[in-house]
Chains A and B, each alone.
Chain A
């Protein structure tokens, strides 16, 4: 283990202790800690969508569909069979991953906006299926889900998600995905089996969205098959966080997920203005900062150095 990993680990442990410490001293109410759990769930959602949209360059706007699969299947397990939470989470995530695979195989033949629309369609079909499944409450919603999600377990799973996806992106598998994003034809001509890697990224993203879903249902304790909770509007919520944090930028995803979870809670009085402001920011960001508010790739020394050298190289050859 090198020094950087150690420091990162220490910092993460400190954050955890800090939250619990502040809670013990009454500086954070349990309501605040709950919001932090929600932020962790959103981190998982945004980072996993980043793998699909940011790193692999596919455009999914149906991510909430996988959240729904994980949320309902894990809740069904804990409610009906009293399955231990982590087992239920894992099963829900695997189930979401399989659904991702089934959807990804045909859908990923499509590109760009066609793929976007197809994922939207699949997402809505998942919602309609849930709406028609009486075992999980159908249109009435699914109630009586145990309150298993804590700050501790959602924090841990958020770290795990970031860790796995970051390492994936930095591996040869991740490079294959980046290559597909940059130029699928060139990637193929270099031996990258693009269908395989697109599907891999898609199912992996769906898997983690499934974990987030499991945490989400055991956080809310009640799931309603509405657009805002498991449908198109939820997908758009995740997408907004992703875009503002920057496509292909994990640090940005984490920051955006945390900020955009906490800020609306602080501004509850202005709830009806939230979407107006979000949408204006979204448009402005696309026009003036299409790489997101925090830039295209993860922040770091290497990136800074690269861009400086890139500018130099460019200038010296002008």
Chain B
């Protein structure tokens, strides 16, 4: 096979993986945009989403779409609870305290999942039969198309919510200036809650998509994709919604290319190398504007 065929194939695989990163990254970026918190537990919500989907399909015998909706709604509630219980009491605390809490929440979800669901992996049920679609020298699969399709649909839905609804307007206002938004009569607590709900729902969807893609889920599956999605959000410009999409897709493609052309052991290093490069050379991300710190 020629190198460009490999490249093209990895581009397809990378876009599928990248759209998952993008879905998770959206949650990071929205939360960061609104309360300046890296929600470390976000990757764990994605993991929980996968398990919720798993039980919805295997125990409740639901088909894929209702299972996904159920998982997204449940994850949204978990996300709102997390914010209410762990983050809201710390809203005026130093950022470091909140960050430590977020790490704590992440550990809590992970270790609880390990207790409840077991530490070993579970095979994810195949809700749709697998087919391979040949496109000239390269191929894609119906699962990849499904991942990509669902991800795009959810992103469009989110875009409509953020840009064209009253809630979206309130959310943008809060992220620009919390105090001013409050003075304009916006219920900040509610906006933050809904932001967590939206982000968590997207992460849950991503969890189910990945469960189907790799056929397996385990309690630790959230850590790495969570970190990588965060990197994607930083890459695109944290707090910027389209940035998360761009960053996620780029990350997915970059990772697949490195695995194909360099070494598979470097899979996880790619994300961190990108992260460090971005932080050092373009800390506001690809789509971010430069800001100066006020003295």
Contact = CB atoms under 8 A, between A and B. Distances in A.
B90 to A, nearest CB: 6
A31 B146 CA distance: 55
Contact of B275 (A117, A272, A278): A117
Shortest 3 CB-CB contacts between residues of A and residues of B? A275-B111, A282-B104, A121-B272
* Residue from A112, A122, A128, A243 with most neighbouring chain B CB atoms (10 Å): A128
A120 interface: yes
B160 interface: no
Interface string A47-87: 00000000000010100000000000000000000000000
A245 to B, nearest CB: 13
Interface in A242-298: 243, 247, 272-276, 278-280, 282-283, 286-287, 290
A98 interface: no
Contacts of A141: none
A132 B111 contact: no
A112 B104 contact: no
Contacts of A131: 265
Contacts of B145: none
26 contacts: A59-B99, A112-B99, A113-B95, A116-B38, A117-B38, A117-B230, A117-B275, A121-B271, A124-B268, A125-B269, A128-B265, A131-B265, A132-B263, A232-B223, A236-B107, A272-B111, A273-B115, A274-B111, A275-B107, A275-B111, A275-B114, A276-B115, A280-B108, A282-B100, A282-B103, A286-B93
Contacts of A112: 95-96, 99
Given A61-B103, A116-B99, 19 more contacts: A59-B99, A112-B95, A113-B99, A114-B283, A116-B38, A121-B276, A122-B276, A128-B272, A227-B223, A272-B115, A275-B108, A279-B105, A279-B108, A279-B111, A282-B104, A283-B86, A283-B104, A286-B97, A287-B101
B104 A110 contact: no
A112 B280 CA distance: 14
Nearest to A290: B97
A243 B103 CA distance: 12
A283 B101 contact: yes
A116 B86 CA distance: 20
Given A185-B295, A279-B108, A118 B279 contact: yes
Contacts of A236: 103, 107
A164 B276 CA distance: 32
Nearest to B110: A275
Dominant secondary structure of chain B at its interface with chain A: helix
B111 to A, nearest CB: 4
B280 A279 contact: no
A109 B265 CA distance: 29
A144 interface: no
Given A59-B96, A121-B272, A279 B283 contact: no
Contacts of A273: 111, 115
A139 interface: yes
Contacts of B227: 120
Contacts of B114: 272, 275
A221 B10 CA distance: 41
A294 to B, nearest CB: 16
B234 interface: yes
Interface string B72-107: 000000000000001001100111111111011111
B104 A286 contact: yes
